[in-house]
Copies of this chain bind each other. A is one copy, B any other.
């Protein structure tokens, strides 16, 4: 009858884990809390730091790593392509879309809250190529308004540091 939890909350996910024989631990609670508090994708190190258990104690890096593998396998989170040197994760609320706008200069990541621009394309591809279970990854990269603006008096040509 009633399903465990349809609302995609930390508690709902914890219940789901429990219902599959997995355990709810302080680390897991902390990691989920960090994910739900996040405003943009987090790397494993960031997740670890923000998953503080209590009194400055952090879960082990390997614990975070394994937890994310687990959540990814359950489609609760997904990796985001930020063109950086390590993995970034964010929640996969099934009722939302996750397309991003990334500034290659300052690293800012904006989650695009717009109707998915490739939903139709995705359906067409499924038909045309016979692919099943299609998902997509869509990121826009560019220079944000602040980073595009000339720094007042520096007629910079181009180039510069930037987070490659």
Contacts and interface: CB of A to CB of B under 8 A. Distances in A.
Interface of A: 79, 81, 83, 101, 103, 110, 112, 114, 117-118, 120-122, 125-126, 128-145, 148, 161-164
A14 to B, nearest CB: 23
B131 A101 contact: yes
Given A83-B79, A117-B117, A117-B121, A129 B141 contact: no
A104 to B, nearest CB: 8
B118 A101 contact: no
Copy count, this protein chain: 2
Nearest to A145: B130
A117 B99 CA distance: 14
Contacts of A129: 101, 110, 144-145, 161-164
Contacts of A141: 134-137
A136 B136 CA distance: 13
Contact of A142 (B103, B117, B135): B135
A133 B131 CA distance: 32
6 contacts: A118-B140, A130-B145, A130-B162, A132-B143, A134-B141, A137-B138
Contacts of A162: 129-130
B161 A81 contact: no
